Amino acid sequence: MMSSRIALLLGLVACDAPLDQRLAIIDQPRLLAITTEPAEARPGDLVTYGALVAGPDGPILTPPTWAFCTAGKPPTEDNAVAPACLGDDDVIALGAQLTVTAALPADGCRVFGPDVPDVGFRPRDPDPSGGYFQPIRADVDDLRAFGLSRITCKLPNAPSAIAQAYLTDYEPNVAPALAPLAIAQAGTPLASDAIPAGANVDLIATWPTQARESYLYYDRARVALVTRREALRVSWYATRGGLDVDASGIAEDDPATSVSTTFHAPATPGPVWLWLVLRDSRGGLATQTIELTIR
């Protein structure tokens, strides 16, 4: 029977104060991210999904059991997915494998987007970046998590000329990329297999400039299309030691191409696993898994 350990993995960015850094320490199995390739697609297009699952002893490679949620939710429902998505009636089963490739449900823009539903609910509101999302569920052992796969839909409630320009010029999201993690102590680079026990070291996550895309956004107040740039956020996880923050982010107007945090290495030698999850504000993400050796 599925336990109550359920997580929602959002691809949204909020560059606010860091959360409790204890969330960064993996002391039990956790599903950290659901990756999508491509990061945005039209209903009916093929998308490949993968799961980043972590445990206290390192990566967990159990093949997830995948399913699309097909249940819309009322506007008054606070959760990002409908309660019916927890059951087995309002889903499309996709099987159990490490990665799964499946066609997005053809009615995604009606059930989860701006198109008028057949019955029941009014059209969905977009997220802060103007996007709409198809929920996908992943079950790994007693873990259950939902990811949100961005779908390309028509622009609603806009003058026809603007809606046509958006349809013609909008570029779907492409997932960001991470350069190899840099590790340093007092400015001196360190190898991942030579971290001194008890040391405080800097972890530096870097991405190429093109990882942050510009995109069209409909500004309803101005009744105009505007160009925005994605914000980015890196979430940090480790199996031992400590991290100053659990996430580091940059806002839309920040030109930085890296963020960092301090890792407090444990006093006892042995392996430590690190995970990084880089998310852009349109729902794309990149992940990185690193094994450190504490000496």
Q: How confident is the model at residue 8 (pLDDT cuts 50, 70, 90)?
A: low
The answer to the question of residue 222 being in a domain is yes
Q: What are 85-109's pLDDT values in tens digits? A: 999 999 999 999 999 999 999 999 9
Q: Which domain, by its residues, includes 93?
A: 6-294
The answer to the question of residue 231 being in a domain is yes
Q: How confident is the model at residue 21 (pLDDT cuts 50, 70, 90)?
A: very low
Q: What are 182-217's pLDDT values in tens digits? A: 999 999 999 999 999 999 999 999 999 999 999 999
The answer to the question of residue 178 being in a domain is yes
What's phi and psi for 118, nearest 5 deg? Answer: -65, -45
The answer to the question of residue 1 being in a domain is no
Beta bridge pairs of residue 257: none
- Judge contact between 250 and 257, C-beta under 8 A: no
- The model's pTM is 0.91
Total domain count for the chain?
Answer: 1
In single-letter form, the type of residue at position 241 comes to G
Most confident of 60-74, 114-128, 269-283: 269-283
Question: What is the CATH number for 160?
Answer: 2.60.40.150
Q: How confident is the model at residue 4 (pLDDT cuts 50, 70, 90)?
A: very low
Alpha helices per DSSP H over 85-239: 108-111, 160-169
- Judge contact between 150 and 40, C-beta under 8 A: yes
Residues 239, 58: Cα–Cα separation, whole Å: 7
Using DSSP's 3-state secondary structure scheme, residue 211 falls into: helix
The rounded Cα 91 to chain-centroid distance in angstroms is 21
Mean pLDDT, rounded, of the chain: 91
The answer to the question of residue 257 being in a domain is yes
Q: What are 225-266's pLDDT values in tens digits? A: 999 999 999 999 999 999 999 999 999 999 999 999 999 999
